[in-house]
Amino acid sequence: MTRTIMTVDDSPSMRALLQHALAGEGYRVASAEDGVDALERIDAASPDLVITDINMPRMDGFELIEAVRGHSRWNNVPILVLSTEFSDDKKQRARRAGATGWIVKPFDPVKLSAAIRRVLV
Which domains does the chain carry?
Answer: 4-119 (3.40.50.2300)
- The pTM assigned to this predicted structure is 0.95
Q: What is the pLDDT of residues 58-99, one digit of tens each?
A: 999 999 999 999 999 999 999 999 988 788 999 999 999 999
Contact partners, residue 53, CB within 8 Å, separation at least 6: 8, 9, 10, 11, 14, 61, 81, 82, 83
Q: Rounded mean pLDDT of 30-43?
A: 97
